[in-house]
């Protein structure tokens, strides 16, 4: 899927097993209408989630892993509409854990993380009943009120082609680069649609705010060629029907 499809409702390739059915992100992309952080926030971090695929058989005793590479986070400067790189995986450690999606985020088990020679990061695949939630440990920073959108991209692939998993990416705004996790110190910027991972590289994309504003001034990784539009053909049908409910609550 291209960057526009990954941020347009209805284009998820499959769905996450074990996700709360009423969560706004269960069906795919979800984000506030306003792509900007709260006026007094000064930091952001890119996020990625990997879940077992809903309705797909999982290989027994798989020790498959997910390789993550080229993670980058940009913020758009309100005054000039230029994009500034604030997180780069090549210079920033990816960390995370296996969370139970139905429980509070502090109920997690350790996720093995291995930095590779090429600066990619290998993480353990999601165990039954849990996901992989990962993020870049050093938050990107900016002056309060200076930013009106965020863009995140990451490349992912699997070590075991028999694994059946879906992934999405997104971002969280933070009050400050060193603020502790709490309901008042962080705010979700949103997330992309679900992408089926395979043994080949997939690039995942997320942007906050409107598609028209994003396409009018795209970030540096996307400026070498015109941005794609939504295909005129029928949307790709997921391999299974959605387990998510139509009436959704915010993430």
Segments making up each domain of the chain, as ranges: 5-17+42-217
Ramachandran area for residue 70 (φ above 0: left; ψ -120 to 50: alpha; else beta): left
Coil, strand or helix at 203: strand
CA nearest to 136, candidates 75, 175, 191, 177: 177
Q: Which residues neighbour 242 within 8 Å (Cβ) at sequence distance 6 or greater?
A: 12, 15, 26, 27, 54
Question: How far apart are the C-alpha atoms of 146 and 53, rounded to whole Å?
Answer: 39
Question: How far apart are the C-alpha atoms of 223 and 216, rounded to whole Å?
Answer: 11
Instruction: Flag whether pLDDT at 124 surpasses 60.
Output: yes
Beta bridge partners of 59: none
Coil, strand or helix at 228: coil
Question: How far apart are the C-alpha atoms of 245 and 210, rounded to whole Å?
Answer: 24
| Angle of CA points 20, 23, 29, to nearest 5° | 120
Question: How far apart are the C-alpha atoms of 86 and 240, rounded to whole Å?
Answer: 37
Residue whose entry in the numeric block shows the structure tokens 């053909």: 233
**Token pair listed for 130:** 């849990």
pLDDT tens sequence across 151-196? 999 999 998 888 899 999 999 999 999 999 887 999 999 999 999 9
Question: Which of the four pLDDT bands, split at 50, 70 and 90, describes residue 248?
Answer: very low
CA nearest to 35, candidates 147, 168, 142, 141: 147
Q: Which residues neighbour 179 within 8 Å (Cβ) at sequence distance 6 or greater?
A: 43, 185, 186
Which percentage of the chain shows pLDDT scores above 90?
61
pLDDT tens sequence across 23-79? 889 999 999 989 999 999 999 999 999 999 998 887 766 688 999 999 999 999 999
pLDDT of residue 161: 85
Question: Which of the four pLDDT bands, split at 50, 70 and 90, describes residue 128?
Answer: confident
Coil, strand or helix at 9: coil
pLDDT of residue 229: 76
pLDDT of residue 104: 61
Task: Sort 113 into a burial class: Cβ within 10 Å, 0-12 / 13-18 / 19+.
Answer: middle
pLDDT of residue 251: 43
Question: How far apart are the C-alpha atoms of 153 and 124, rounded to whole Å?
Answer: 20
């Amino acid at each position: 899927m291209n960057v526009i499809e990954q941020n347009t409702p209805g284009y998820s390739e499959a769905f996450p097993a074990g996700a709360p059915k009423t969560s706004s992100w269960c069906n795919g992309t979800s984000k506030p209408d306003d792509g900007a952080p709260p006026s007094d926030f000064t930091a952001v971090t890119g996020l990625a989630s990997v879940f077992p695929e809903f309705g797909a058989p999982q290989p027994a005793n798989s020790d498959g892993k997910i390789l993550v590479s080229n993670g980058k986070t940009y913020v758009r400067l309100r005054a000039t509409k230029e994009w500034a790189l604030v997180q780069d995986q090549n210079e920033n450690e990816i960390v995370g854990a296996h969370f139970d999606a139905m429980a509070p985020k502090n109920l997690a088990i350790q996720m093995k993380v291995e930095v590779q020679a090429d600066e990619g990061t290998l993480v353990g695949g999601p165990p039954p009943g849990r996901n992989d939630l990962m993020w870049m440990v050093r938050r990107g920073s900016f002056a309060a009120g200076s930013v009106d959108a965020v863009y995140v991209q990451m490349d992912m692939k699997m070590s075991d082609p028999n694994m059946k998993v879906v992934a999405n990416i997104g971002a969280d705004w933070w009050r400050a680069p060193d603020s502790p996790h709490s309901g008042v110190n962080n705010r979700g910027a949103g997330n992309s649609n679900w992408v089926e991972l395979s043994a080949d590289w997939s690039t995942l994309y997320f942007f906050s705010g409107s598609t028209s504003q994003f396409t009018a001034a795209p970030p540096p990784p996307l400026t070498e060629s015109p941005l794609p539009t939504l295909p005129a053909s029928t949307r790709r049908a997921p391999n299974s029907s959605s387990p998510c409910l139509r009436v959704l609550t915010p993430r």
